[in-house]
Chain A
Amino acid sequence: MKKASLETIVGIFVLIGLVCLAYLSINLGKMEIFGGDHYQVYADFDSVSGLKTGAFVEVAGVQVGKVSRIILDPRNGDKARVYMQIQGGTKLQDDVIASVRTSGIIGDKFIQLKPGGSDKLIADGGRIRDTEASVNLEELISKYIHGQVK
């Protein structure tokens, strides 16, 4: 009897340890199994150079979602199509503008959303129409310099 209950207690501790390990892994791995409801939207950009999957999607500097997938636009293959998971509570208007911006000057790329004023909202699976591509700093500098030497 005593051996059985000792083993049971050890077993329970091992179980608790495994659950803690799983919780830690899920949190660190940023998986959101119990994360609440999300919906998906997509947007086409001329260039998303530097943007990675998992990058933040922000409104006013607050994270409201993340980039789940980046592919080439299946229709014409020369635009980038970015799929984003947005938190359920965040409403995106029809005329929201999505821009690829850099954290700081040389940091990671993320998607910045600027809310619009339209009454129409983007539904699950909907499209953000107005976008701004990555700003290529080197190109801009070269154009500026180039332009100055007239």
Chain B
Amino acid sequence: MKIKLLIIYGMLVCFTFAREAVANNSVTEEVKKTVDEVVRIVSDKEMKKPGAKQERRAALRNAIGSLFDYEAMTKRAMGANWKKLSTSQKSELTGLFMTLLENSYANKIESYNNEKVVYVREDLDKEYAEVKTKIITTKHDEYSVDYRLMNEKGKWRVYDVVIEGISLVSNYRSQFGQIMNDKGYDELISKLQAKNKEIKKR
């Protein structure tokens, strides 16, 4: 009887640890799912055709949008100025920022050419996580891309991307802050709209 109890107890302990081992990599799994999907989209021969640009961009937007929390990114880029905005201003700004990021990075993502993505490590700190990855080109150049995620109501979403040690949020926080302090919200909006138009033409 005692041995049976011991075995059951031992199994329970093992299952607890097994669950933790899986849980520790679950954030990386979330990131991997999206990265794999993005790679699939840009590698797809049908999608590479010039005529498929709309479809390709829509597919990318879907894949990335499920993992990236654009509102959180906009909020962090605005810093203390976010609270000063009305609800409609917040959604206007988030929409423009999302378009800016999509258009800025779309070309780079679409120029994917058999690079390898290596998942280096994951750091967890309560409801925050950082997934460190490396992109290795066919010529053996390495670029570090780190994803910073926050767990909200059980879903892990990216709130910042750090490329080669430079944070996207930090970059835009400086710029948004300057524009907000010098000229204000309307100027920021018109600058973003102008930039979006310019990028679309490229």
Contacts and interface: CB of A to CB of B under 8 A. Distances in A.
Interface of A: 46-47, 93, 95, 97, 99, 114-117, 127, 129-130, 132-135, 140, 143, 146-147
A132 B75 contact: no
Contacts of A147: 141
Interface string B153-164: 000000010101
Nearest to B76: A95
Interface of B: 75-76, 78-83, 125, 128, 141, 143, 148, 160, 162, 164-167, 169-170, 173-174, 177
A146 B170 CA distance: 26
Contacts of A97: 167, 169-170, 173
9 contacts: A99-B167, A114-B170, A116-B80, A129-B128, A132-B165, A133-B165, A135-B165, A143-B141, A147-B141
A97 B159 CA distance: 13
B79 to A, nearest CB: 4
Nearest to B137: A147
B179 to A, nearest CB: 15
For the residues of B in contact with A, the DSSP-based class is: helix
A117 B76 contact: yes
Contacts of B81: 117
A16 B127 CA distance: 57
B145 to A, nearest CB: 13
B120 to A, nearest CB: 11
Contact of B79 (A116, A127, A132, A146): A116
A114 B173 contact: yes
B82 A117 contact: yes
A132 to B, nearest CB: 5
B165 A114 contact: no
Contacts of B76: 95, 116-117
A140 B81 CA distance: 32
B115 to A, nearest CB: 13
A78 to B, nearest CB: 9
A92 to B, nearest CB: 12
Counting from the closest, the 8 A-B pairs by CB-CB distance are: A117-B82, A117-B79, A133-B165, A97-B170, A117-B80, A116-B79, A132-B167, A114-B173
B165 A129 contact: no
A132 B171 CA distance: 11
B80 A132 contact: no
A95 to B, nearest CB: 6
A135 B79 contact: no
Given A132-B162, A132-B165, A146-B141, A99 B170 contact: yes
Contacts of A127: 125
